[in-house]
Structure 1
Amino acid sequence: MNLISAKVGPFRSINAAQDVDIDRDVTVLVGMNEAGKTVFLKALHKAQDALGREKFNPTDDYPRKDYTSYMRRHAEKPETAVALTYQLDQEEIDEINTDLNTAIKPGFTFSISYLYNNSKTISINVDEAPVIAALASTSGLSSDAVAAIKKALTLRDALDQLNGIDRNDADDAFLADLKAQVEKSDWANVVQYEVWGHLSSKLPKFLYFSDYDLLPGKLNLKDLATRVANAKADSNNASKQIQPKHQAVLALLRMADVDIGDFSGSTGYEELKAKVEAVSISLTDQVLEFWKQNEDLEVEVDIRPDATDEAPFNDGPNLYLRIKNRRHRGVTTPFDQRSRGFIWFFSFLVWFDSVQQQLDPSGAAKHNQLVLLLDEPGLALHALAQADFLRYIDALAEDHQVIYTTHSPFMVHSDRLHQVRVVEDKATIGTVISDNLSGSDARTIFPLQAALGWNLAQNLFIAKRNLLVEGPSELAYLQAASALVEASGGKGLPEDVTIVPVGGLNNVATFVSLLGANGLDLAVLHDYSGKPEQKLDGLIQQKLLAKKSVFNASQFRDPASIGQDSVPSDIEDLFNPVLYLGYFNKVYAKALNGTPILESDLPAGDRIVYRIERALETKKINVRPSGGFNHYAVAAAFSTSPPEQLDSDTLARFNALFEAIGSAL
């Protein structure tokens, strides 16, 4: 059975009911702070709390702006706070059909509405006709009884029909059984009541976890025992006695098979400590399966009194949790003073492993089919640790549906945006929840954009070998030139080398640092200004780049002195000037008004792009309002419509360039 939709509201900041589709595995609520993500989770939690502690309270939960008018009708006509729709899987459908002789079809759904007076209404539709047909085929019935049953439209009608005929003993026995079956329910459709009886015991319930449920560094066990006793004596006020930190420690003790009363009984200290330590070791191992930030951590437990401490820690034994870091020679620190991320992860495992047994403070057994509601999980985790935690959520989703909130791009699978629901707080409307990403505020979907950007970056740099260039012009020229060199019988750029435009020489250092950290092989090709580039020299000195992997355009300008720095050069200077001017004139033919720029028009200089810009200035020709010309427009024209072949000198230059890059990488 899966939750497939939740209709929430009016509830707190949700002024109008929001119908939200729920994914069968994981649903992600993305939105800004105070948008209403937690409100949605809290509504679900109150509807079907697995621990049985949550209730709807109009004073706390009904939208405040309409509270007064609502309370006038609350007693007689309470509104729906949450409506949940579930879908059965085929195994459950087959079981019901077999047990009750129904003919429920695949994809069967039903709904439950939870009202503000904490009652509920069931919406379920089951045809009684197949059940009536099965009853009519009961062996031993008289022909009159069979005929009466077949006339009936409902089970209650069948009961009335049988009461109006002459019956034999078998008919009377059948009638008695049918009467008992019908009288169990006050529903008009008895079969629907019986189906609900099957479903109600298997209904998934909600478990909510947030930062408030973290384990404390220490807790007084005598005080905890008193609180548990008070909770048992007054279950209606149990939540006032048992706060989240107490519940977290009770969960840890329960997992260790330790009763709170053991600390005041005959059970020895070593036995109690051994039990709790065993669970702590097991949980630490589970954490480290997904926690890859520091695998030298472990949780230690101690149980001892301290008469010198402040109340209540000076009365009876205290439970102490500490984290040992083997990386720092076994230094231990209090649990609640360590990394917030590790604390969250460990506390979550304690909470989840324990509440699967579903025990409230008074010890009553609860339900074990769960929908997990996680409020900002992994918020304190490093970005890569959040990616690790996503793997853990996927593991949880194998057995339980998970709904979680986030505004971190690293807590969203960019290839599963169908699982995302955006949450916005709109003026005069309140919280709005939707799967329509295109119509959402840019600030709301920023985490999704960032997630996509990260995914794009990862896919762009998946090659083991990467050539960093300054911009898209270099990318266009190199790809086209490589194809032309290969067509002439030479060797182009190796196929497994990815060309990465970084947006200028100033960004090279950043890209080298980021990509090099991923263990990728890098080379750099840059324009040459006529003097050494200090940033690149710094990368070489820091051993982030090998000197043999850094190239500039001037080193390939003269085929007779390959590898030697010469005059200031751009990649455009590796082409024959006449060829380059031909593409320039083609791109800007309209602006040039039929008067192309010739090589003889160019002033003296080393770099053709600057020579062209100076010629345009001299001729007072504006090909674009800002002056100069768009270098990439010429590169794009070259790459989309390259020449049939290059001259021998140009081929020699690019052949040498590609050979050098391939060798360096």
Structure 2
Amino acid sequence: MRLRTLHVKNFRCIEDSTEFTICPVTCLVGKNGAGKTSLLEALYKVNPDVRELAAFDVLMEYPRARRREYQKSAAGGAGEPDDALITTWELEDRDVARLEEVLGAGAVKSRAVVIRKGYYPERHWAGAIEPTAVSPASRDHTGDACVAPTTPEVEGDVEISIPVEVGTATLPDETSDAFFEQHVAGLLPKVLYFSEWHIMQGRISIDALLYRKQKGELTGPDRVFLALLELGGTSVEAIGRIERSEELIADLEDAARPVTDEIARFWSQERDLRVSFHLYPGRPQDPSPFDRGLVFETRIVNTKTNMSLNFEERSTGFVWFFSFLVWYSDVRKRYGDNLLIVLDDPGLGLHAKAQWDLMRYVTERLAPQYQIVYTTHSPFMIDPDRMAWVRTVEDICDTTPDGAMKFLGTKVGDKVLSTDHDTLLPLQASLGYRIMQDMAGTKRLLLVEKPADVIYLNWFSARLHESGRRGLDPAWTIVPCGDLVRLATLVGLLANDARGFAVLLSLSEQDPDVVNQRELSRMLESCRTYPLRRYARPVTSTIEDLIGAPAYPALIDLCYNLPRKQRLAGRLLDADESPMLKTVADRLSEQHSATGPFDPMRPAECLLGMGGRKARKLPGLQEALSRFEDLFGDLNAGL
């Protein structure tokens, strides 16, 4: 069975999420506190991997603002208990075949099955399934099956259209529920839920764990540790009776080896990590509860350095991976491969590269076999090629006609994405990064600081090509990035393929901005850098210095149509050791020109609009062309 729609209401901060569709991999994106985790926890209760966590608790989970009123109403017997979860599922081909093998050909009249859960003991079912042949398996449960209108069959991952009548059908009676529980419940995927609250602890007091288990107060980390023991063929009760701990350690390390091998394949951050286990008596000087009884410690060994650390002191990514794989392996062992995997903020706190590793594991290892629903607010956990699988989650407030604020609770965007900027920010970042990657995929990028740089480089390259000289190779794509900090940051982001990038650096390596900011220098070192001081006189050259005097001052005169007495051409020849842009800006400011503040983009646009004959009259143009030719020669050689 595949989950097709999800609808949560009357649960924690969720008054009514509205119904939304579920994809092969569904990514719930939203701000902290929007209700993403509550959606997952409600879904988990439809068929949880831990049976005792299936019930909805009125005291702890019903919306607080209405809880007392609801409890009074329920105690007085007014109305039906409230739903908290409504799910629509689609029977797959193999499910239909199994049902019709038992119930007779044509028993499945619609593949849509609706399951409701709420503040009542059992699940309620609705669907168009009824026996077409009397058999021992079906003879006792045929009278009260709820028949819903037939929906079109679907193939693959195409969404099904569920009629309103199915989603709002009258709750079936107990006999009908019993029929579905007997024949259909076994086809329902077991929901595997994993969050940071399940991450295994590095040290465990065996006595304290036994006490929590006897009291029915096991925590998420407790359950993962018990799953590890189960994989090793033992139990926490057996540890207390063990005579030789070496045999236990050997069995557990043997069970953990496939887990660490799987991590090594997908966890590119550190591939030389292995797990080791230790069992020792508690020491009086240790904090409670590790000062008595047996203590089990998990340590991570770096085989490259032969150093070990407590499990909890190791990198977050490795700890998350190991804990999840232990739990996943144990759930598969108990329930088989009919699973729905629900992950709450996987990769929280991980480096971007580690989040990519985690997404690669999800898409390559899990997605081909299971449906997955996960939450995130990181752009690196969103697949920009599958934005249709993203659902936005918001905590909505509205304004009533009298101006008061009305709390609407968590809402999930399905067909239309949110309009809230903060909610959409991870999606925008993911798409922006993919656009940069795609842009770099087929071209070599020449990163410059200003849009004017793009115009000058293209203009001078075209003039050189026209005269049969060496211009810029068309394999280069020129991209303006802003100031030095933004430029260096972009290089750092795209440094996975540093050979595809070059930086035209307007500031020299001796500039304080580069020398004093070691991180900028380090990022710029990851690709080829071409300081313009190699090709022009001033130490702090920009591309305007490459044009040089007298060509650039003459261009300023033409651009601003300066009177003869205020023209700069011929007056800036002594400015070889000062940046051209600064000198021009200062002179125009001194003359209080009526043209307004100096804009470096304006002369570039003026040059672009000049006819060839007028441009060739610029003094010093040939010297400028020679300097650009030297730069282009070095850039082209870098290809």
TM-score normalised over the length of structure 1: 0.75
1:70 maps to 2:70: yes
**TM-superposed deviation, 1:56:** 0.7
Call closer, same or farther: CA 1:663–1:123 in 2, change over 3 Å.
same
Equivalent position of 1:656 in the other structure = 630
What is aligned with 2:274?
298
Structure 2 CA distance for partners of 1:332 and 1:404, relative to 1, 3 Å: same
Equivalent-residue separation in structure 1 for 2:233 and 2:260 (angstroms): 18
1:186–1:368 Cα change, 3 Å: farther
Q: Which residue of structure 2 lines up, in the alignment, with residue 139 of structure 1?
A: none
Q: Find the aligned partners of 1:620 and 1:210 in 2 and give their Cα distance.
A: 65
How far apart, CA to CA, are the structure 2 residues paired with 1:451 and 1:180? 52
Q: Partners in 2 of 1:553 and 1:188 — Cα distance?
A: 83
Instruction: Tell me, yes or no, if the aligned pair for 2:202 and 2:310 is still in contact at 8 Å.
Output: yes
Q: Which residue of 2 is the match for residue 550 of structure 1?
A: 530
Q: Using the TM superposition, name which of 384-393 and 455-464 deviates more.
A: 455-464
Deviation of 1:276 after TM superposition, in Å, equals 0.7
Distance 1:214 1:181, change over 3 A: closer
Q: Provide the C-alpha distance between the structure 2 equivalents of 1:496 and 1:58, rounded to a whole number of angstroms.
A: 65
1:348 aligns with 2:331: no
Q: Per-residue displacement from partner, 1:95-145 (whole Å, max 9, x unpaired)?
A: 54566221868x9322111121133322213588xx5xxx7xxxxxxxxxx
User: Structure 1 residue 389 and structure 2 residue 358: aligned?
Assistant: yes
CA contact 1:480–1:642 (8 Å) conserved in 2: no
Letter in 1 for 2:106: T
The equivalent of 1:475 in structure 2 is 454
Task: Give the SS at the match of 2:295.
Answer: strand
Q: Equivalent of 1:605, from 553, 567, 572?
A: 572
Q: Report the AA paired with residue 555 of structure 1.
A: Y
The alpha-carbon deviation at position 312 of structure 1 amounts to 5.1
Q: Does 1:502 align with 2:472?
A: no
SS of 2:431's partner is helix
SS of 1:262's partner is: helix
Task: Name the Cα RMSD after superposition.
Answer: 4.2
- Contact 2:488–2:523 (Cα < 8 Å) also in 1: no
C-alpha contact 1:221 1:316 (8 A) present in aligned 2 = yes
- Aligned partners of 1:423 and 1:431 also within 8 Å: yes
CA offset at residue 437 of structure 1? 6.6
Look at both structures and tell me which one has the larger radius of gyration over its CA atoms: 1
The change in CA–CA distance for 1:77 and 1:475 in structure 2 (over 3 A counts) is same
Task: Note if contact 1:290-1:391 (Cα within 8 Å) is conserved in structure 2.
Answer: yes
Question: Alignment partner for residue 278 of structure 1, among 240, 251, 254?
Answer: 254
2:196 to 202, 211, 218: 211
Q: 1:617 to 1:532 in 2, by over 3 A?
A: same
Seen in structure 2, the aligned counterparts of structure 1 residues 249 and 582 have a Cα distance that, compared at 3 Å, is same
Question: What's the secondary structure of 2:253's corresponding residue?
Answer: helix
Is residue 84–residue 112 contact of structure 1 (8 Å, CA) maintained in 2? yes
Taking structure 1 as reference, are residues 493 and 575 closer, same or farther at Cα in structure 2, changes over 3 Å only? Answer: farther
Give the Cα separation in 2 of the matches to 1:353 and 1:461: 40
Amino acid at match of 2:410: T
Match of 2:152 in 1: none
Partner residue of 2:368? 398
Alignment partner of 1:320 is 2:297:
yes
Paired residues of 1:572 and 1:580 also in contact (CA < 8 A): no
Q: Is the 8 A contact 1:555 1:565 kept in 2?
A: no
- Report the CA distance between 1:609 and its aligned residue: 9.5
Q: Across the two proteins, how many residue pairs are aligned to each other?
A: 580
Which residue identity does 1:64 align to in structure 2? R
Residues of 1 paired with 2:504 and 2:391: CA distance? 44
Instruction: Say if 1:509 and 1:535, in contact at 8 Å, map to a contact too.
Output: no
Residue type matched to 1:467 in 2?
Answer: L
Cα offset for 1:391?
0.9
Matches within 5 A, 1:194-593: 198-225=183-210, 228=213, 230=214, 238=216, 240=217, 242-265=218-241, 268-306=244-282, 308=284, 313=290, 316-328=293-305, 330-358=306-334, 368-394=337-363, 395-427=365-397, 428-435=407-414, 439-462=418-441, 466-505=445-484, 510=489, 519-520=498-499, 523-525=502-504, 533-535=511-513, 549-552=529-532, 555=535, 569-570=544-545, 573=548, 580=555, 584=559
Deviation, structure 1 residue 400: 1.5
Q: Secondary structure at the match of 2:125?
A: strand
Report Cα offsets for 1:45-94 as digits up to 9, x if no partner: 12321321121122222111122332244344111110001123344445
CA distance in 2, matches of 1:209, 1:541: 41
Asked if the contact 1:324–1:333 (Cα under 8 Å) also holds between the matched residues in 2, the reply is yes
Partners of 1:528 and 1:263 lie apart in 2 by 66
Please say if 1:89 is aligned against 2:92: yes
Structure 1 residues 98, 78: CA separation in 2 closer, same or farther (over 3 Å shift)? same
Q: CA separation in 1, counterparts of 2:598 and 2:230? A: 74
CA distance in 2, matches of 1:23, 1:70: 34
